[in-house]
Structure 1
């Protein structure tokens, strides 16, 4: 009997492990707005806040460190990820830039969130990183990433439900509303793999 392959889970960080609403108070403070998370109907917050992409990039350049340091954990992600660590390979693949590695590692340490690898790719194109790490499924909040990863790699993607990712989904992309729901789906997937 051949040894079973450990399930490798690719995991986005912002809006997936961190609360998807965490950027809103900081942007409100900077741009003098009073928007709610529910008002963020598209992923590109420059459009939501009526600023240019350049202004948003400059804002993130200035405030990224604080944003990543202060972001709260999304639900009970920390607890679930701790239970997964002994049985699955956890690879975090994020659009954050490599220069934010220290603040990222410190945040994971503060909340006792385990990892096998953290890959800060510096762009929203996570496909080559997902291929490099051989991920079997992906957890994501950005619709475009979910669609690209599921189609190119033919793997399931669990898409966390947010105001900015509403759309019809292909069969491999599954909308989820909580980390508890993801936990159930991952356990089912793991059981299916071991029974093959």
Structure 2
């Protein structure tokens, strides 16, 4: 039997969605929490001019990614899944961050079949190339597009910034334990 292939976003999914907040608070003299972020575009959410925020993010990105905490429950679930499924981590990170990303995965002791940094939020081509059967995401429009374009289920990790309605086929979960349960049920049905 062929092992199912999982496409998994990294930031805000495998890493804790609060990863950027300490850096934002320090560098922009803010005192925000995840609950304060109601949209994915942080420059807009925080009322910081987009060019300024992009410059800041480009500079801080390697430090943030090297130090991102892992999402609660992710490690145990991913270690268990590695025995049963193929894991393809597909991220919008830029390709020059591959070494930092691989080092983070090694430090966290998370095995993978492939890490692909696509450099944009459009993950459909990579998901298609890796022939994934299901995708895990935190960005609302990515989840919807992947589900609709590829006709595969997408597990969307709930955050304050992704609360727009979702179509059938996009399943919301609050944590990795719920994702694991949903996947168990889904595998039983397929």
TM-score, normalised via structure 1 length = 0.95
Q: Residues 54-73 of structure 1: matches in 2 within 5 Å?
A: 54-73=51-70
Q: Does 1:30 align with 2:24?
A: no
2:150 to 141, 153, 161: 153
Q: Does 1:162 align with 2:164?
A: no
The residue number in structure 2 matching 1:184 is 181
Matched residues, number: 190
Counterpart secondary structure, 2:83: coil
> CA separation in 2, counterparts of 1:53 and 1:131?
31
> Runs of 4 or more off by more than 3 Å in structure 1?
none
1:83 to 65, 80, 83: 80
TM-score, normalised via structure 2 length = 0.98
Counterpart secondary structure, 1:17: coil
> CA separation in 1, counterparts of 2:118 and 2:56?
19
> CA separation in 2, counterparts of 1:151 and 1:14?
22
> CA separation in 2, counterparts of 1:9 and 1:48?
31
C-alpha deviation, 1:57, in angstroms: 1.5
> CA separation in 2, counterparts of 1:179 and 1:136?
18
C-alpha deviation, 1:175, in angstroms: 0.6
Q: Does 1:103 align with 2:97?
A: no
C-alpha deviation, 1:59, in angstroms: 1.1
> CA separation in 2, counterparts of 1:16 and 1:10?
11
More deviation in 88-97 or 31-40?
31-40
The residue number in structure 2 matching 1:53 is 50
> CA separation in 2, counterparts of 1:191 and 1:49?
43
Counterpart secondary structure, 2:84: coil
> CA separation in 2, counterparts of 1:140 and 1:55?
27
> CA separation in 1, counterparts of 2:188 and 2:89?
23
Please list every run of 5 or more consecutive structure 1 residues that lacks an aligned counterpart in the other structure. none
- Deviation per CA, 1:134-164: give whole Å up to 9, x if none: 0100000000100100000010000000000
C-alpha deviation, 1:191, in angstroms: 1.8
1:139 to 127, 136, 139: 136
